[in-house]
A and B are shown apart, each in its own frame.
Chain A
């Protein structure tokens, strides 16, 4: 059986999804499944996180180049190489320092980069006020456009519209 997506490679992953009680089936090759952020227990077992991180960007010169020249995190001094070796980020600022890499990884790990769970407001913070929320969303939109993440940008634009 060929992959539904590329029609070239043999399908290795057979995905059954249940959305609103309707069952859909997809047959994908490993490459297309990874691109869609679908992970199987076999692929997890084969690639522990650090190996997975080390392999990131091997096929894409752009990311590799970024790793070699990326500045260390301005807050904790951790480098992208540290992250690849340990699988652990140094501090919360690393998520901003290595944003493009982290976003790419989060998408592969979770199939998404957008948190939709509980929104946290730090003590004394007023992020719940519409003005502040809008500011944060616009900020995210700008970053999404910069990172050429147009899917997220469209989603953010819709959310901004609702608040406006």
Chain B
């Protein structure tokens, strides 16, 4: 099977359109719920036949919900590695479901059901991983949507639930609510002022944790941090979201303060950093993904500080997504290992900046 993303109206990246609240600092908010079916071994202990049965049930139930009735079903186990990596780069499937882990293979029955800003991963570590994505800082909206999908699916499937332990999950770190909420946040000010370590240490004290750009086990790239709840049991869904929301609000304030300090104490240095980044992106002929991400971080800071006014946040988000290796390779019809990717990346960045640079203040893109 070949991946045909035209089946997904917005390519599954509406979450990156910079239309949400605080989108100059928060790229996206996402929530996932882990659910398993009663009377079936968890995915890692299930055989191929059982995984196929889980998929059948999941798709049939999804078809009966209001939210996924018209969803696109992508059989991840029928895609090649580049296509699976592309879905992962788009943050639509986990590394595990994509079978990208070292020595990892894609699991029979691994699938994604996707419609708008809601997704359902099937045969992940848990039978079902419901996902809700939103642009900007919008946890309550993301939860309202996923809660409705959860209720809809739970009416047609019998979930494994225990009165004391709550929803039962393959890994006990997810038991209880099965809820992991996360916010992808850009914190260059805190990194440059070296305040970031303090902020990250503080997270652990309030039951939160941070991860890199691609979630669990990934590295921090381009000053993007994923902040999320660490515990899932013993608190209500509302309390978990409320606490994460409050702390993210505080981190946004710290970041804004750090940016004020930078402009006050080192204005020339910071402007130089920003304009150098912009200059390199507009003129470089070879760019590695990591370099591109770091330069984009500088330009994003420049847009946030209103120094760069001819680039919108949406353009920067698109650059972040489409310059990832599998996206570039897919776009150019090349292999993931193609040595020309750095040149293709630099060309793509130059063209998009040329096309989308516009003579008006930066910020949210124009509505279309």
- The chain A residue with its CB closest to the CB of B169 is A89
Q: In the complex, are the beta carbons of B44 and A120 less than 8 A apart?
A: no
Closest to B210 in A: A41
A96 CB to nearest chain B CB (Å): 8
- Give A150 Cβ to nearest chain B Cβ, in Å: 15
Is residue B161 within 8 Å, beta carbon to beta carbon, of the partner chain? Answer: yes
- The residue of chain A having its C-beta at the shortest distance from the C-beta of B201 within the complex is A41
In the complex, the answer to whether B40 meets A91 with C-beta atoms within 8 Å is yes
Determine if B166 and A16 form an interchain contact, defined as CB atoms under 8 angstroms apart.
no
| Total chain A interface residues with beta-carbon distance under 8 A | 43
Q: Which stretch in B170-178, B256-264, B309-317 binds the other chain? A: B170-178
Q: Are A49 and B40 in contact (CB under 8 A)?
A: no
Q: Does A61 contact B (CB under 8 A)?
A: no
Say yes or no: A120-B171 contact (C-beta < 8 A), given A89-B42, A110-B232.
no
How close is A22's CB to chain B, nearest CB, in angstroms?
Answer: 15
> B234 in the interface, Cβ–Cβ < 8 Å?
yes
Complex contacts, B168 vs chain A, CB 8 Å:
89, 92, 95
How many chain B residues have a CB neighbour from A under 8 Å? Answer: 45
Return chain A residues, CB-CB under 8 Å to B158. Answer: 122-123
For residue A137, which residues in chain B have a CB less than 8 angstroms away from its CB? 163
Q: Which of B44, B172, B177, B204 contacts A117 (CB 8 A)?
A: B177
The listed residue with most A CB atoms (<10 A of its CB), out of B167, B170, B172, is B172
B159 contacts chain A at the CB level, 8 A cutoff: yes
- Residues in chain A near residue B201, CB distance under 8 A: 41
In the bound complex, residues from chain A placing their C-beta under 8 Å from that of B161 are 120, 122
Give B residues with C-beta under 8 Å from A: 36, 38, 40-42, 44-45, 125, 154-168, 170-173, 175-177, 179, 200-201, 203-205, 209, 230-237
Which A residues form the contact surface with B (CB < 8 A)? 15-16, 39-42, 44, 49, 75-76, 78, 86-92, 95-96, 102, 105-106, 109-120, 122-123, 136-137, 139-140, 143, 152
Q: A92-B160, A109-B173, A152-B164 are in contact. List 15 more A-B contacts (CB 8 A).
A: A41-B200, A44-B204, A44-B209, A87-B171, A89-B170, A95-B175, A115-B176, A115-B234, A117-B176, A122-B154, A122-B161, A123-B154, A123-B158, A136-B163, A140-B164
